[in-house]
Amino acid sequence: MRRTIVLLALVPACAWDDGVPFGEVSVDFTARWTDVPARGGAWQKLASDFEVQVTSASATFGALALVDVGTTALNFDPADPPPGYSNCHGGHCHADDGRLVSYEEIAAELAGGEGPSPVVRLAVGARELR
């Protein structure tokens, strides 16, 4: 019995060391511009007969957060979304204001809550794409 207690007391020590996270989130974002030779190589012909050449691009991300959505049961039918939402598919609906909102957030909102709150907010801003 004593051996079991000592073993159980030592098990967490090998998993959680000082300064070492118990989990990890990895995010990968890839953007690609493809030159289509049939459309002029580096110069891209538009449908309006104008031609453009992209020499650099940048993107600004408005918000990025890690959210624990839990296991909220759905209280709405994605095939018949509630007012303010449309085009529900793949675990999210499109809000009238342009946001992509997860089923869990909509279910929490309909249940009277505001949905899950961010666990971690990440710094965002303009990023240059090369």
Give the domain extent around 43.
32-129
pLDDT digits (tens, 9 = 90+) for 93-107: 999 998 888 888 888
Q: Is position 1 within any domain?
A: no
pLDDT at 2: 56
Phi and psi torsions of 87, nearest 5° = 50, 60
Confidence bin at 37 (pLDDT 50/70/90): low
Q: In whole numbers, what is the pLDDT of the chain averaged over residues?
A: 69
57 lies in some domain: yes
Q: Which residue has better confidence, 129 or 31?
A: 31
Residue 106 forms part of a structural domain: yes
Nearest to 62 by CA among 100, 95, 25: 100
Please count the structural domains in the chain: 1
Residue 119 located in a structural domain: yes
> Is residue 120 domain-resident?
yes
14 has pLDDT over 80: no
Residue 2 lies in a domain: no
Mean pLDDT along residues 85-96: 89
CA 82 to centroid of chain Cα atoms: 22
pLDDT digits (tens, 9 = 90+) for 60-70: 766 666 665 55
pTM of the model: 0.34
Q: Is residue 22 part of a domain?
A: no
Residue 66 lies in a domain: yes
Instruction: Assess whether pLDDT exceeds 60 at residue 73.
Output: no
